[in-house]
Amino acid sequence: MTSSETADPLDPKRLARELQAFRTPHPVRSSWELGITLAPFVALLAAILFAVDAGYWLALCLTPLAGLLLLRLFIIQHDCGHGAFMTRRTGNDWIGRALGVLTFTPYDCWQRSHAQHHASTGNLDARGMGDVDTLTVREFLAGSRWQRLGYRTYRHPLVLLGLGPAYLFLLRHRLPIGLMKAGRKYWVSAMATNAAIALMLAGLIWAFGIAAVASVVLPVLLTAASMGVWLFYIQHQFEAAQWDKGDNWSFHHAALEGSTYLELPAVLRWFTGNIGIHHVHHLASRIPFYRLGKVLDAYPDLKTKNRYTWHQTFKPMLLALWDEDQRKMVTFGEAKRRAKLA
């Protein structure tokens, strides 16, 4: 056999180099993807607002669809943040900033924190920015009773998928939290986005009334936010996820081994912008979302790497701690039983 035939097909460094061939965005395709997402979202939101007079519960039935479209707009904003949607940086940035008004997410602040997330995925020495807070078993057991209670509360699925998204998109994004001293740019991003959101809401309230706007916009936003947090959680919080410290941590290894491939039905793949192909995204974040599927076709071994289906995502929601001895994520119950044995 030749060396190419015996080489590991999923060597992360080699893959990262080869995947650069997929990174060039196609402006016409990108514009089309934006149009077929933005236009239906605006039309559907207007239809829901008009439908409130005919019966709120009838209008509310359309909320999940509007939430999915808003989630897809966030995925496009996400690609803009990686410079993966348009060929020029200015095009990416201004589309991202405009979409940030609809997603209630200040683009420049989010872009900075998300870049830090990519740069430190799976690094135990660099936690706390742009990711789900994760403690090791030893850190959790060494904490005070109140610290353990706070962490247990934070990691509860109802908080992660309910209160957490509401806090993140309604409150935390209103200030450049985590970037308070990082520079004027992030204050401008947050305040300009807030001002644009206020103008948008003022126009809607003038046209439809405050009660109708609140009863429509909030459910749509929180539906999209909860689905987005669910996706983000399963992308990195799974039993075989890899975490390391110091020189043991490798960017490419963490990208491939610490991210999942969430295989979704075709309709959900469209609405989620292929973000479930997350191991590829972390290896090569400049690949446009509409080209990620082609990567799986070119590298079939990636289809089985850290693969989950949507109905397999419920168990990982109970995982809460990284066990350094077993090198896997465990539940609170598993950590408690091991502590008693020790």
Asked if residue 5 has pLDDT above 50, the reply is no
pLDDT band at residue 280 using 50, 70 and 90 as cut-offs: very high
What pLDDT does 1 receive?
38
Q: Does residue 4 register a pLDDT over 60?
A: no
Q: Which of 299, 310, 303 is nearest to 268 (CA)?
A: 310
Round to whole Å and give the CA distance between 284 and 290: 14
DSSP bridge pairs for 308: 262
Q: Which residue has the tokens 């809607």?
A: 204
Rounded CA separation 295/2 (Å): 24
- Does the pLDDT at position 7 exceed 70? no
- For the stretch 91-146, pLDDT in tens is 999 999 999 999 999 999 999 999 999 999 999 998 877 788 999 999 999 999 99
Q: Give 245-270 pLDDT, tens digit per residue.
A: 988 999 999 999 999 999 999 999 99
Listed in sequence order, the residues at least 6 apart from 156 whose beta carbon sits closer than 8 Å to its beta carbon are: none
